[in-house]
Structure 1
């Protein structure tokens, strides 16, 4: 085993900043380049440089356990819970400039270990993980890039837009907008994204760039902060061999620049395997090899597991991790004896690891810690003082998130199908209620109730999908420290207003006048404001339901039950609700909307022709009398409490799920 003492390279460009101190120091552009337009980018004589401060990552005896239900044998129930060990005593070190690959079969704990090393794992985690001799902190978090296995990207943004918005959020305010855009251009060039820079990223329903290009965009988002530590989960998953080699070549080049890079990889080709500097081989959460990739085959040969064939080293290692010896012949059926043999082989490999690698690895790790402790102690103390600082202000985050949200939803905001849906319902309703005479008070009241029902339910169902669909993106960006939850929540809220208010406005303009309601401008404006008010309340409830459940199927089910109850208790179908359940109608915003619409459409002194030549007071009509036409401001205040209360519930629910 080679010595593990890591000599960290000095910060580039002659920076005098401490290598552990958080934040990024950037070379300022000249005043001339700052004044140039940001839409076209000429080649700069002095490109923007970001100093790289190296990180030595060490992990010792990392153990992670989770609780799992233990099933009973009699009734199919559960006796309780038991602990399952996912990671079992993993030790290692990665130095600046090195590329460490974690190999192992599915379920061996590769991704769990990667999340633990990236500070993204909560729960019963024990052991010691240090970064330049110090524990994980806010400053380390801001200089750590994490690329998940699935490419979590906004489908309707172009490559340049996605990277530029990321730069605006993750790079400090000390940089101008031009400097951040210049840095985006450098990263695009470095990762070979120039050809697709103006292409839409795409998604399941939107055609966009290729899988390899999406993976490079994900890596580019992390490269914008010039990470000292870069963690990648299955970066070649689902890619062809040529694209996978291009991705790994890029990663290897990034490592050679002084970065510490760790990647999980499932089944690399031999060409990819020989790019790794170090390999950690896991089997059922336990290490069976940790050392240079070039000596892995020699190690297993030395303990009696050599192969006579010329094989891909990764295939040989994965066979051993699965408990399959080199001379094993695959039978057609799985037998109990074969399972016992595989288990015995894995136990043999684990004991060989403890005997031949573990003790020496821990000793060298301990010596390395003694050598590096004095160089990192003081700097880390200064770093921790800045751990909780944000790179950008709250107002800056809000503006960028609002702008990004509007750009991302610019195709969805006025979707032709949604516009057709609303306009067609408005026109059809206007034809059905065409110029309803004042004497047909039942029909006019029914039209007002239709207002409250349609715009009480339509925005609720749309809002239910909001947070469940953005959950993965929210977790990804929040764990990277990109922005505050409050700035995201308010930006999302204000970004939805154009769509949420434009369609109901068009709806009311059409059906109000076609239906022949009170032809008074003040009454019309008040009716429109009440409908828009109800839309915001309904949207708030939808956001709260979606944020609490974070599951589209469950959320839509709960929304259906809620809207059905609100419909029945809205004051139109059942006018005399039994006293023991009358409280239900006071929970229904449709009830308050219906009452407010009646209150602005009619007054106590209004009359209608109840029979030929006979006038009756509107206030005495049973449907109106059960609702009442007074105390409208109380109803407005109650709806205001609903509006604020539902959104507070949604915000608190997002706090609960942000790291799940």
Structure 2
């Protein structure tokens, strides 16, 4: 007998449940039970074409003993195309009811994750997916009432548990709900999932010490629980956990199911006590179903068709052996074992499949259709979500908290201070008349603050891709507030380190001892940093692969540096266009203009026109200082690049799909 969600909340003494009931009365939550039915679900993917050259094959067979049919001499390289498809799922049928846990068991590669993606509306008909999937007898997905927990925990590592869930609550719950109540919902979820002890601990990752694996998985579940989903789908939530942590996690899922939720989860190798907690069980083997029914009746079914373990063992281990085609029947030869899987599929099709299909169609749903439509519409309407500015402000706060530890970590600050001190000592109180050395210093500044910010920024979007796709799929925000918050949040932090660099190296190297010159130099460097950062963001968003993007930004900056004007003055004609799109070229010219102006003064002072100075120095003056473009042109080009690179990154993100 199922207990309704409302009854459970009313009679529960848990503080979190009480908060849920209070929130529901204000319209934050409108929970209703969902009966999930799926029949004959299949999924196929197309493989790359296989091309066979007939002449080559015919000649090879002549030497290897194969068929020696002569090839077509008029068409000696005839190509035969084979269009192949791979079946991931093949006619899966079953259902999941409110108040129960449906566990999908099977070895790696059996199709568990694909089936969950189909049930969670992450695969669509017409793209290889066939069959029917119904939610309370409706084919329209109720995505706003479905929580999907992926196998990998996609969380920000530097945020605490409480910050993670509070920010998620502020973004996912409707804008009509007061901020205090959204925070209260997050706190109630923390209490319900037993995260109170670690709520002020950062999430962490493989490189940063944080909460445990089991706690991290519960945070992922809490992410979805904030919207009080009626259908909760989890992809191998116990992977990587020890048996005790896995048992605690499944106990939590049982508690959620007891409140009227429909829970569907895949498991790889559960312990015996975890297995006993599953109400219904679906066993997959290479995309085919070999059992669907009650978990407690699985062993009896397989025993009835002649498959039973030769010694007492964990039922899950035995079922996985069968799904892998491994049979422990006494006297079974090695040649007979590969036939085990075929026998299991045949038995299922003859004994269980007809009953499963019939029962799937006859299973009553527990909520009227009209209520499903109304609730889906309620959650899908954009006016019930946060406004653009609210999304931007929340994302900006989250970005500042997440990025601060990474931006000001010891190694990065040490790198900048060390570079500034090296530059200061190498060009210690350089002489105004030593033009070559000073131009070398200015070009070093242009190189360092071109490569450093662009290389750091190129990892931004590839590293956040999984989080971005997941949160966009959940409807937490639109692209524009995320992008602008991401770019804006980086500005104050990315500009502090170059300010520190210039403040140290400028006075140590003895550059123009005027406050206005120092301010202009700093302004040029800060602007150049922002443009270089935009270049990194654009390349990262376009490529979306950290290694490939870092390679591309390295090659791009190398081209910009070589054509920047200091190393080579006479760039080959076919490469000369690069300098006009080079950020280094324009920033180097502006830095020169701040120190030497139009170059007339230094040229006259050194006597280049009268031949009193060496030829090399005068050549640098003529080609680097006096031969520069107008500063207004350099500023205009850098401003265009500042906007253009970020616009390119935004367009690239718009094309990004899960």
TM-score, normalized by the shorter chain, greater than 0.5: yes
Find the aligned partners of 2:372 and 2:27 in 1 and give their Cα distance. 26
Equivalent position to 2:349, from 337, 346, 354: 354
* TM-score normalised over the length of structure 1: 0.86
Deviations 1:153-181 (A, max 9, x none): 22222221111111111122222222122
Equivalent position to 1:132, from 133, 136, 139: 136
Tell me how far 1:413 sits from its aligned partner.
Answer: 2.3
Conservation of the 8 A alpha-carbon contact between 1:133 and 1:373: no
* TM-score normalised over the length of structure 2: 0.87
Match of 1:473 in 2: 467
- SS of residue matched to 2:308: coil
Tell me how far 1:51 sits from its aligned partner.
Answer: 4.5
Match of 1:289 in 2: 291
Find the aligned partners of 1:9 and 1:95 in 2 and give their Cα distance. 12
Match of 2:620 in 1: 623
Find the aligned partners of 1:164 and 1:134 in 2 and give their Cα distance. 33
Q: Pairwise mapping of residues 206-605 of structure 1 onto structure 2 (< 5 A)? A: 206-307=208-309, 309-327=311-329, 338=334, 341-368=336-363, 375-376=368-369, 379-380=372-373, 383-384=376-377, 387=380, 389=382, 391-604=385-598, 605=600
Find the aligned partners of 1:646 and 1:119 in 2 and give their Cα distance. 35
Deviations 1:405-462 (A, max 9, x none): 2112232221222112111211221222222222211222222212211111110111
Match of 1:98 in 2: 100
CA gap of 1:629–1:471, structure 2 versus 1, over 3 A, is same
Conservation of the 8 A alpha-carbon contact between 1:58 and 1:130: yes
- SS of residue matched to 1:208: coil
Find the aligned partners of 2:268 and 2:80 in 1 and give their Cα distance. 34
Conservation of the 8 A alpha-carbon contact between 1:8 and 1:96: no
Find the aligned partners of 2:385 and 2:588 in 1 and give their Cα distance. 48
Find the aligned partners of 2:178 and 2:648 in 1 and give their Cα distance. 37
Aligned length: 619
Find the aligned partners of 2:649 and 2:343 in 1 and give their Cα distance. 52
Match of 2:46 in 1: 67
Conservation of the 8 A alpha-carbon contact between 2:33 and 2:260: yes
Find the aligned partners of 1:47 and 1:198 in 2 and give their Cα distance. 28
Find the aligned partners of 1:247 and 1:78 in 2 and give their Cα distance. 53
Match of 2:631 in 1: 632
Find the aligned partners of 1:378 and 1:53 in 2 and give their Cα distance. 8
Find the aligned partners of 1:584 and 1:81 in 2 and give their Cα distance. 44
- Report the more deviating stretch, 649-658 or 254-263: 649-658
Conservation of the 8 A alpha-carbon contact between 1:48 and 1:183: no
Conservation of the 8 A alpha-carbon contact between 2:28 and 2:174: no
Conservation of the 8 A alpha-carbon contact between 2:596 and 2:602: no
Match of 1:34 in 2: none
Match of 2:69 in 1: none
Find the aligned partners of 1:160 and 1:413 in 2 and give their Cα distance. 22
- SS of residue matched to 2:406: coil
Find the aligned partners of 2:621 and 2:213 in 1 and give their Cα distance. 61
Match of 1:143 in 2: 145
Find the aligned partners of 1:433 and 1:169 in 2 and give their Cα distance. 51
Find the aligned partners of 1:158 and 1:10 in 2 and give their Cα distance. 30
Deviations 1:5-63 (A, max 9, x none): x9995756999xxxxxxxx997469xxxxxxxxxxxxxxxx999945211111112111
CA gap of 1:385–1:197, structure 2 versus 1, over 3 A, is closer
